[in-house]
Chain A
Amino acid sequence: MIELLGWVPLFPFLGFLILILAGERLSKPLIAWVGVGSVAASALLAALIGAEFLNGTMQPYRLVLGVWMEVDDLSIPFGFYLDALTVTMLFVVTGVGFLIHVYAAGFMDDDPGYARFFAYINLFVSAMLVLVLADNLVLLYLGWEGVGLGSYLLIGFWYEDPNNGYAARKAFVMTRVGDTALLVGLFLLFTQLHTFDIQLLMLRATSQWTSGSLLPVAAAALLLGGALGKSAQLPLQSWLPDAMAGPTPVSALIHAATMVTAGVYLIARTHALFIMAPSVQFAVAGIGATTLLMAGCSALVQTDIKRILAYSTISQIGYMFLALGVGAWSSAIFHLLTHAFFKALLFLAAGAVIFCFHHEHNIFKMGGLRKAMPLAFWSFMIGSAALSALPFTSGFYSKHEILLAVFDASPGLWAAGCLGAIITGIYSFRLIFVVFFGRKCPVTKARVGWQMSVPLILLGALALLGGTLKIPLDSVFPVLFNHDHTFDLVSVVTALAPFVGLLIAVLFYLTHTFSAQRLAGSGLANQMRIFCFNGWGIDALYGALVVRPFKSIAKLNKNDAVDGIYVAIALLSRVGCSRVSASQTGRIRWYASSVALGAVVIIAIGWLS
């Protein structure tokens, strides 16, 4: 079964080809069958391969399908590499991806671009699978750019609205900044170590470079740049909230469960390099901690249901970076896994709410949905519980593990993580109390089809119980020796932090003991609220630092000085054309005499030279 690994990314790609070439001519059910079926086949195959792998010796497996390019001493194969990390990622991408596809079949039912949607999202899944399977950095980069393209196409899926196109371009350009760093990092690694093969690169890096010297630090920093862009971490995070312009299944799949975690995967995959560069690894932790706090604060004050979840995603990926930074590699991947479950669940439940409210996003225009939409309500309850890491949900296991590991590395970062956990509790339950409790709002259509409800139920089960799905990653990562924190103070404080957040949310939004309006009403607090609401002014900062200077430079050269040369050439050619055309008189007398004249001239030239 494991030899069929190549089919895992190929199925969705075939689906993409069929839908993009013939999609407009197929009937709707057939489109859904192709679009969902391709991912289903891929998920089934991945499950079988994963089971075979996990029940076997867990030795890494390599599959080379052919040579991609071969020039001189550079040889890049279409090579796939399967180890426990890849298997985890395969489960996330195909499993969660499949559920979201089923959901999308219902969610997008009345959209005229049904075929286009499934074509794009199949392309995305295929590229994401190439990314996680690639055994060399160039193939990984192909997947990396492929998911970027898929993300761009799907954010701008409803392209009639120029704002969506703007959001798509913003996401593409901002991630390109990171991608460029990654590309430069690739070049650096190849020129120094003469291979693109990831395992060989790690081997050569550890044997040829000394820890902490310039080369590993530079290479790790450049890879980190790529990871920051893709995973929406400081300072390249501001594209993700805007990316919510895409359809909700897209937000669930690309901007929560899979693509945005690609940065985490990249760092985990090249962890040997990061170990060689302790300063960069510490920066990863610092960036993670800062991002999780900043994004958490922003999530506190948002009013758009999807933007709350977007900021929460940034914040949760911050936790993963924090874990990577302190060397808790497998905890980071574990959190990636559980986060994929509960965040996809939250997004899909939010999608159901939005669906029933006719694309209303403002949570303060909703309310009292607990009875009207019990499925969405319970989905949100489970999702939020897991998100804020209440005990015995999946998120608890992973986040708890991360925070304990962080405490051993740096108590300061641990405190930041715990503060983040409190904030997470507040904004998660603020959302629930506002939307599902309180004043009742009329709902136009409260029923969702089975395509949408079944994935919610399955993801709910995963979010609740996914903590037991721990995949043994010890064969991939160096083992971290934890202190035993089983029932000491640190462990208890870490576990209690979300409850503090929950309590605050209850007081403010359920019982209204304190009023959030009054708190935010005064001058300074209100300004802080607006500051957080706008994502800490990152956009304004880039506007002032990059966009405006660039525009003014462009304005300086409005008439394109270089173009003048080409205009002159064109003008000259036209003049030349009209001059020589005058010789074509059509008169035979002139033609005959020109032959004689030409003869005289060439004989003269011949004699004179």
Chain B
Amino acid sequence: MPGFSFTHLEFLAWAALWTVGLSVIAFVGGGLLGFVVALARVSASRSLRIAAIVYIQLVQGTPLLILLFLIYFGVAIAGFDAVPAIIAAGAGLTVYSSGFLAEIWRGCIQSVPKTQWEAAECLALTRWQRMTRVVLPQALRLATAPTVGFLVQIVKNTSLASVVGFIELSQAGKLINNSIFEPFTIFIVVAVFYFALCFPLSTWSRSLERKLNVSRR
């Protein structure tokens, strides 16, 4: 029986690119959606705030695996053709990320001191101007480190996309194992790939945290 070869490594590297791609989709999609939900979460309108809370709680209270199944099979049941795996996986991860990013960013927005809102309000700025010109620039500074930290979670969680048939790093590892039955070797290599993706991110997050803590708020 042939062992683990360069071809397998190539296959894994190719699959790792899909992991990166899926992570980017999840981060960009989740970021956009999460930003809107975070704004709704701190909005002046009570019904918007409640809607945002319900959304965040639902997303955070549902396992990503189930979210992926719901989207993958839900769309088919709703009468559409089976969705391509990348769409289902991308949508599931987007929803998942948006629920967490919204809550991280809500915290950052609310940790900008209330006196900053007040000062901006007393200068006759509109609510939107207060938010975009005074509060968000300060919240951004606070948000950078935890946001990059959450990126690591996204990268690792893309492994669940294999359940809807999406071939990313983990799924590629399983496929190779099905043909050569060397699970330990294969999954060590897979783990190394994940580590190589995540380690720079978490190092970056930590250094951002240090940098932003010592410089001005």
Q: Note whether A and B form a binding pair.
A: no
> Which residue numbers of A lie inside 8 Å of B, CB to CB?
none
B residues whose Cβ falls under 8 Å from a Cβ of A: none
